[in-house]
Amino acid sequence: MTDNQYDLVVRSTEIYTPAGRVNGQIAVRGEKIVGILGPEEPAAARKTIDAGTNPVIPGLIDTHCHFRDPGYTHKEDYYNGTIAAAAGGVTTVFDMPNVDPPTTTVDRLKAHLENAQSKAVVDFGHNASGVVPENIKGLAEAGATAFKVWMMQDIGRDYPHPPGTSLTNHAILYRVFEEVAETGLPLYIHPHDHNLYELFVERAQKQWGMDFRSYARALRGGDGVVLNTAISTILEFQRSVGTKLHVLHLSTREGVRMVREAKAQGRPITAEANPFAMFVTNDWANIEKKGPYALGFWVPEEDNPAMWGAVVDGTIDVIGSDHGPHTKEEKEVGWTDMYTAPGGSPMIEQYLRLMLTEVNKGRLTMERIVEMTSSNPAKLTGFYGKKGAIQVGADADLVVLDMDHEETLRAEHSHYRCGWMPSEDFETKGRPVKTILRGRVIMEDGNVTAEKGSGQLLRPQR
């Protein structure tokens, strides 16, 4: 070996780069990719991984995670959550502000990041709460990677949308758009017309009672009007102000149409889909069978083709896991009263497997998965070039896949503290077998070896 040797070389006949799929070798020194070599080029290295014909893709970037830390660590904490992320091929996470205390101030954000730094095993950033317009500039300067607002409040419960994370006043929300626009950071909006939702909740409870079926139907009352009116509002705010808008949970056909038209005008708008909506709650049979463990929100059969069409054609830019664990005891209440049970489900460890299964079925291409789970999230968060691509100069964040691996998913094989998952019993084909973070193998065959606190905080360049 010489001083010119690489620290790591990863060989594969299928490496997914921005220039296309290549047969070659990824050369790494330190934490960075320093070369994409041909298959026969000399590449002396301290460690070589020969993936053979197994594909190698960039590490996944999950822009929508709820790790419940601090404040709700009986459900999960940052360490457990990022262990599950690494097992699922996710090398970068951005968590959400519905924690206790919510990250509405600079001091709270700094404390949140310090806590995360002590526990994370993958790289991370934080989407701060954007409900106080006066605090937004300070939060941006303190390291927020984006801002998140829920256009709703919980009805009959106080979590997962606690005070300090929600805005139902449109005048204040407009001011938020203005303040976030000046930072240059994206604004993530959970679209929801709260007053209309109250109406449809009242109607659903009168007609169907309090169980999970009633809860699922309430949100889609009036053929999605609760969601569509909110999407219309935030698109108009964006047109007026110019803010970088990221529309979360896009799943209605009318919402897809509105977002598609706005994007066609060249406006800085992106959209997200969620794996639970793509694979679990878009089938009423799953809701009947899994009840509160499925919800989340229901995607009716008339909306599912539009949501999936937007995933395939690029209208939806990003897949965000919306990973949201709760305990079984908290969820069980939902069989009879879903309005007091918390919504959300753990998903971060399985969603790549579910998407690879669709590649094997021919429904998605690997290139599209890389776009939605790596390159587009990196562009959204401002870290493309450092993250999200297998290219020279980028962090060596890589995932080696086994596209032939078949498995029936079981929660007992996951890393979730809560011990359950909505994808239980799903048949999958394809899985991540190695996760590499900045040139270090942190997961192999489901075994995560990364040390607590080894993840790095990502700060936007300002």
Which segments in the chain show pLDDT lower than 50?
Answer: 1-2
CATH class of 6-56+393-448: mainly beta
Dihedral, CA of residue 11, residue 14, residue 17 and residue 23, to nearest 10: 60
pLDDT at 154 (0 to 100)? 84
Structure tokens at 292: 């509160």
Rounded CA gap, 285 and 335, in Å?
15
Residue in this structure with the two tokens 């009263």, named with its chain if needed:
337
pLDDT tens track for 77-91 = 999 999 999 999 999
CB-side exposure of 414: number of CA atoms within 13 Å? Answer: 28
CATH class of 59-381: alpha beta
> What does pTM read for this prediction?
0.97
Rounded CA gap, 17 and 67, in Å?
30
The sign of the CA dihedral 93, 192, 75, 401 is: negative
Rounded CA gap, 457 and 110, in Å?
11
Residue in this structure with the two tokens 């449809």, named with its chain if needed:
200
> Residue 54: how many CB atoms within 10 A of its CB?
18
Rounded CA gap, 388 and 407, in Å?
27
Residues near 430 by beta carbon (within 8 Å), at least 6 away in sequence: 353, 356, 357, 359, 360, 401, 402, 403, 404, 405
Q: What letters, b where the CB count within 10 A reaches 16 and e where it falls short, cover 287-299?
A: beebbbbbbbbbb
The sign of the CA dihedral 248, 254, 258, 264 is: positive
pLDDT at 462 (0 to 100)? 61
Pairing of strands 90-95, 60-65: parallel
pLDDT tens track for 210-241 = 999 999 999 999 999 999 999 999 999 999 99
Whether the ω angle into residue 70 lies within 30 degrees of 0, i.e. cis, is yes
Residues near 71 by beta carbon (within 8 Å), at least 6 away in sequence: 99, 100, 101
Is 432 in contact with 399 (CB distance < 8 Å)? Answer: yes
Query: What is the DSSP code (8-state) at residue 392?
Result: T
Rounded CA gap, 88 and 416, in Å?
12
- Strand partners of residue 125: 94
Rounded CA gap, 8 and 37, in Å?
13
Q: Where are the domains of the chain?
A: 6-56+393-448, 59-381
Residue in this structure with the two tokens 């970037």, named with its chain if needed:
61
pLDDT at 1 (0 to 100)? 41
Rounded CA gap, 118 and 402, in Å?
32
Q: How far is CA 397 from CA 45, 386, 388, 448, 450, in A?
A: 17, 9, 8, 15, 14
- Which residues in 136-226 belong to E strands, given as ranges? 146-150, 187-190
Query: What values do phi and psi take at 180, rounded to 5?
Result: -65, -35
Structure tokens at 417: 């503290």
Whether the ω angle into residue 296 lies within 30 degrees of 0, i.e. cis, is yes
